[in-house]
Amino acid sequence: MEILQTNSAMLSNYEVMALLADQKAQRIANEVAGTREVAENLRTVEFEVQKYLAASPCSTQSGDQIRELKKAFKDYELMKVELLQILNLRPKSAVELLLVIEEFEERFTLEDCDKMLSIIAKALPRDDDEEMEEGGEGEEGAENA
């Protein structure tokens, strides 16, 4: 087999989740029509990836949020991979952000860090913050007892 045209791109977790949902809908439509079967091991991989992504921050994202985030970060001259990691991981602390952005100290100031974190919090609100706070209070109470 010869590859005639190569296309490669980095996908966000949100895009992967949307792609898998579309493929699942197509597969169900094909099964109803009686055409084309899919290997069981492929279904297993798809199921496991969907299960992982459903528990990640991308499960609450929308296309509008992603566009807003990209527009807000265009002045910072981030690499595509850095923006992708911000989108996938939704950092909420300076430490998390510094780990995602290469050579942060040389490229940006601490004020930039605070601005970036506020942009992330505004553009990509995290639904898991409430769950973490509730879980964290229970753990602290257990340690103090």
**What single DSSP character describes residue 4?**
S
30-89, pLDDT tens digit by residue?
Answer: 777 776 666 778 888 888 999 999 888 888 888 888 899 999 998 898 999 999 999 988
Quote the pTM value: 0.71
**Per-residue pLDDT tens over the stretch 122-139:** 888 766 554 444 555 444
The Cα 145–Cα 138 span in angstroms is 11
What was the pLDDT predicted at 135?
53
Joined tokens for residue 37: 């079967």
Reported as a pLDDT band with limits 50, 70 and 90, residue 99 is very high
Rg (CA), the chain: 20
